[in-house]
Amino acid sequence: MIAENSHISLNPTLKTTTLSSMEPKKAGKIAHLETKNPGILQKLIAMGILPGMPVTLLRRSPSYFFEVDQTRYAVDREIANHIYVSY
Amino acid sequence: MKLPLICPEKECCRGKKDCTPGKGLPKIVLVGSPNVGKSSLFNALSGNYTVVSNYPGTSVEISRGKSKIGDKEYEIIDTPGMYSLLPVSEEERVSQRLLFDEKTFVCLHVVDARNLRRMLSFTLQLLEARLPLILVLNMMDEAEERGIEIDIQELSRSLKIPVVGTVSSEGKGIEELKASIMEFTHEKSTREIDYGPEVEPYVSEIESLLGTTEETGISKRSLALLLLQGDRTALDFVYSPGEVYRRKREKSKGSETGFEECQKLAEIASIKAGIPLSYLFTLKRQELVNEIVEQVMEVQEKEKETGQETKTEKKKRETKKILLAENIDSVLTHPLLGIPVLFLVLYFGLYLFVGVFAAGTLVDFLENTVFGEHINPLVTTWFTSLVPYPTLQDLFVGEYGIFTQAVTYTIALILPIVGAFFLVFSIIEDAGYLPRLGLLLDGMFKKIGLSGRAVIPMVLGFGCSTMATMVTRTLETKRERLISTILLALAIPCSAQLGIILSILSGNPNGLIIWAGVILLEFAFIGYLAAKLLPGEAPTFILEMPPLRIPQLSNIAVKTYSRMHWYFLEVLPLFVLASVLIWIGRLTGLFALALKAMEYPTVWIGLPADAADIFLFGFFRRDFGAAGLYGMHDAGLLTGVQLVVAAVTLTLFMPCVAQFMMTIKERGFKTALAISGFIFPSAFLAGFIVNTLLKVLGVSL
């Protein structure tokens, strides 16, 4: 945690969070995916939600609504917690 | 939703095993993600109309057609959408299996040109499988609208396969595609992806365990990679008896040891890699994809564009169009504004158009004026004078006769209502509203054990629950499929039934509210109970949102027509069958006996004994029963309270025969029987409770 915090303070313009706590309407990139749940991971990578892709969160409620590259997706909180973004 | 094609017999078919047009001809297989225009490309190539939907995850069956390109004939195969060669859902598995089993002349990988970066990874997988491949960049127009430019020649050189740009909905690029199919030769040398020193040794080791691949559609390396990722189809394929590898296996080791060895290797490789292998493979492939995309694709930034003086009128309009779509999208998906929009859609689309206009005005005119006053008396007189036997007269033109009941109900009652519903459904489907509805309702659906994805079969259920039961196949978990099947059978009234009930109760707003409230309560209660009681994990929700589009008139017309076509092929024979069964029943006295038995629960819920035949008809079709209710209402035989009680009970009653058969097909005989065994008493119980409550409270409607 401390390391993470110091990292953020060094780079105030770039921080890594889960998609669920990303600020809406900001452009970012997908940093990595949580790999502990193989089912969700498989779904995400099959749909092309991959590290390095540009991402913008459009809405957090009623579901997480976001754009990756040119495509829009809706996911629930559980899945949004598996996507890490940096912006 | 795949429906029967409108085409000459034996020229094409959908899902039927006995029908194989173009059998033995060279095969052209269309593969690709959902919603990239495979079906409209299939239409363009085969010259047939098939239903094209603007939402993902609805094609559940393989379509086959025949086509003449140049002077050679081909069999064209359209597959359910798949995102990658490693399937996540059952529909994807259908497509994957097809690639395993069929020997293809050429495979067309159809991608959405806007999303090249996301879809090229699958192209690489298909190349890895050594499938004969042409890449089709579809929806080039939408890509251009967004300022995306793709160097097709460069992409073709880089992948070493033909690449064609098309706009399949407008028929653009189809001739070019046909030309490259004619000239196609299978280039064996392809770009190989190196997955890194940690895993490559294991890939080779598994490859060496496999025998020849001559008889299969996909390469050994591809099969080995799938085995490493624990793919079920690949495992079945390699380690099940009677398959191509049998001989080799018998010679060396037993199937069990081969299977275990394979799993062990996968485990070790995964540990070495440190992350799940499917993730590793995808990341490695994406590296190459990014490299290629950098070379061939250019995106003009929207901001830059607006700054340019040279911007044409066309471009301005395109930007405006995109902005408008964005604004509408943000209203549709708004947590607060989305709900009133939904109610507006329900009010205008369902209540006013289907209920009041189609089921009220139109049915009234068709049934009472056209059939009641003109056609039926004519046919009855004509038939009676022609056939002097009362028994036969009864079968054809009697009270429950084939003509006077089955045909009249079908044409005068069901046709306008179902047609109106499918028209509305096709419009909201093509506009891309359904996935937005899924997004909006996901939270609520989670409470009844379903994800937002289940919104699609549920809404379709208001049209035809039988069709909807088939579409539950697109849901991810067994648990979700079961819960949605139960709810469809129990609480979702189909359009014919709904239309009639709406029209009967439209003069009685309080009754309508009570009816809707009770059905909604039961839906929520049973869903909640099922979610609590059924074992298994809670569902997760992930859905691709296709862009909002203005529905095309021709597409809507074709869709509505082919859905009705499907419906009538299924409905009319059952109506006729019901008429024949009732006729036999009346002759033998069985009908009277069954009526007698049905009278007990009918009277128990406070209805006149005569209403028993509504429920008896309900066994054959729910809408048939609703039609009976309509008749009793017309004759003024029911009070307001009785009408509401009858409507509630009938809505919650057994699904029609066709839906029962579909439930058996999709969920198995035992499950179907259990669902029905639950529905019968619960429908009457709900009717009883409503009747008692209304009486105790002294409500008169």
Hey, which residues 49-68 in chain A have their CB within 8 Å of chain B?
A: 50-53, 58-59, 61-63, 65, 68
pLDDT for residue B243: 47
Q: Contact A33/B279, CB-based, under 8 Å?
A: yes
pLDDT tier, B7 (very low <50, low <70, confident <90, very high otherwise):
very low
B9: pLDDT strictly greater than 50: no
C-alpha dihedral, B545 to B40 to B469 to B445, nearest 10° = 10
Residue of A nearest to B36 (CA): A71
B579: pLDDT strictly greater than 50: yes
Residue in A38, A71, A73 closest to B542 by CB: A73
pLDDT for residue B436: 94
Structure tokens given for B673 = 């029987």
pLDDT tens across B466-507, in order?
888 888 888 888 899 999 999 999 999 888 788 888 888 888
Structure tokens given for B123 = 């192209």
B55: pLDDT strictly greater than 80: no
* Residue A4 in domain: no
* Residue A48 in domain: yes
Suggest the residue from B93, B283, B439 to mutate for an interface test with chain A (most A CBs closer than 10 A): B439
Q: Contact A51/B446, CB-based, under 8 Å?
A: no
Average pLDDT over residues B562-576: 75
B4: pLDDT strictly greater than 50: no
User: CA B454 → CA A51, A64, B48, B479, B550, distances in Å?
Assistant: 29, 17, 30, 12, 24
Helix (H, G, I), strand (E, B) or coil at B172: strand
Cα B478 from Cα B429, distance rounded (Å): 25
Cα B64 from Cα B491, distance rounded (Å): 35
pLDDT for residue B95: 87
User: CA B671 → CA B464, B675, B677, distances in Å?
Assistant: 20, 6, 10
> Cα-atom radius of gyration of chain B, to the nearest Å?
29
* Residue A51 in domain: yes
Cα A59 from Cα A77, distance rounded (Å): 12
pLDDT tens across B203-249, in order?
888 888 776 555 567 888 898 899 888 888 888 777 665 544 444 44
Question: To the nearest whole angstrom, how far is the Cα of A3 from the nearest Cα of chain B?
Answer: 22
Average pLDDT over residues B243-272: 64
Q: What ipTM was estimated for this complex?
A: 0.86
**Cα–chain-centroid distance for residue B376?**
38
* Residue A3 in domain: no
* Residue A82 in domain: yes
Question: To the nearest whole angstrom, how far is the Cα of B525 from the nearest Cα of chain A?
Answer: 22
pLDDT tens across B303-321, in order?
444 444 555 676 777 778 7
Q: Which helix (H) or strand (E) holds B110?
A: strand B106-112
Question: To the nearest whole angstrom, how far is the Cα of A8 from the nearest Cα of chain B?
Answer: 26
Cα B373 from Cα B72, distance rounded (Å): 56
Which residue would you say has higher pLDDT here, B604 or B212?
Answer: B604
Angle at CA of residue B152, ends B546 and B36, nearest 5°: 20
pLDDT for residue B1: 40
A72 interaction partners in chain B (CB closer than 8 Å): 544-545, 547
* Residue A64 in domain: yes
A3: pLDDT strictly greater than 70: no
Angle at CA of residue B14, ends B9 and B16, nearest 5°: 85
B508: pLDDT strictly greater than 50: yes
Q: Contact A35/B282, CB-based, under 8 Å?
A: no
pLDDT for residue B258: 66
Residue in B86, B334, B540 closest to A78 by CB: B540
Q: Contact A43/B115, CB-based, under 8 Å?
A: no
pLDDT for residue B247: 44
Q: How many domains does chain A have?
A: 1
Average pLDDT over residues B344-359: 87
Which residue would you say has higher pLDDT here, B441 or B547?
Answer: B441
B250: pLDDT strictly greater than 50: no
The pLDDT > 90 percentage for chain B reads 30
Average pLDDT over residues B342-367: 88
A41 interaction partners in chain B (CB closer than 8 Å): 276, 278-279
Which residue would you say has higher pLDDT here, B111 or A15?
Answer: B111
Largest CA distance in chain A: 36
Three-state SS string across chain A, please?
CHHHHHHHHHCCCCCEEEHHHCCCCCEEEEEEECCCCHHHHHHHHHCCCCCCCEEEEEECCCCEEEEECCEEEEECHHHHCCEEEEC
B534: pLDDT strictly greater than 70: yes
pLDDT for residue B439: 94
CATH number of the domain where residue A19 is located? 2.30.30.90
Average pLDDT over residues B354-365: 86
Helix (H, G, I), strand (E, B) or coil at B377: helix
Residue in B118, B541, B544 closest to A76 by CB: B541
pLDDT for residue B57: 41
Residue written as token pair 């930034």: B301
pLDDT for residue B15: 43
Pick the most confident of B189-198, B201-210, B618-627.
B201-210
Q: In what order do the strands lie in the sheet with B63-69?
A: B12-14, B63-69, B72-78, B27-31, B106-112, B133-138, B163-165
Average pLDDT over residues B525-548: 91
- Contacts with A86 (C-beta within 8 Å, 6 or more apart), sequence order: A14, A15, A16, A28, A29, A31
Burial class (CB in 10 A: 0-12, 13-18, 19+), B421: buried
A55 interaction partners in chain B (CB closer than 8 Å): none
Q: Contact A63/B439, CB-based, under 8 Å?
A: yes
B644: left (phi over 0), alpha (psi -120 to 50) or beta: alpha
B117 interaction partners in chain A (CB closer than 8 Å): 48, 53, 69
Burial class (CB in 10 A: 0-12, 13-18, 19+), B147: middle
pLDDT for residue B622: 67
Q: Contact B275/A45, CB-based, under 8 Å?
A: no
pLDDT tens across A53-87, in order?
999 999 998 999 999 988 899 999 999 999 999 98
pLDDT for residue B531: 93
Q: Contact A48/B115, CB-based, under 8 Å?
A: yes
pLDDT tier, B20 (very low <50, low <70, confident <90, very high otherwise):
low
Q: What's the domain range around A79?
A: 15-86
- Contacts with B404 (C-beta within 8 Å, 6 or more apart), sequence order: B376, B379, B380, B396, B397, B398
Q: In sequence order, what DSSP letters do the residues of B15-37 get, joined into one string?
A: S-SS--TTTTSPEEEEE-STTSS
pLDDT tens across B402-411, in order?
888 778 877 8
pLDDT for residue B10: 44
pLDDT tens across B276-303, in order?
899 999 999 999 999 999 999 998 765 4
Average pLDDT, chain B: 83
Structure tokens given for B441 = 């309702």
B169: pLDDT strictly greater than 70: yes
* Residue A50 in domain: yes
Walk me through the domains of chain B, giving residue ranges and CATH numbers.
12-182 (3.40.50.300), 200-275 (no CATH), 338-545+553-696 (no CATH)
B363: pLDDT strictly greater than 70: yes
Average pLDDT over residues B619-639: 79
pLDDT for residue A1: 37
pLDDT for residue B256: 54
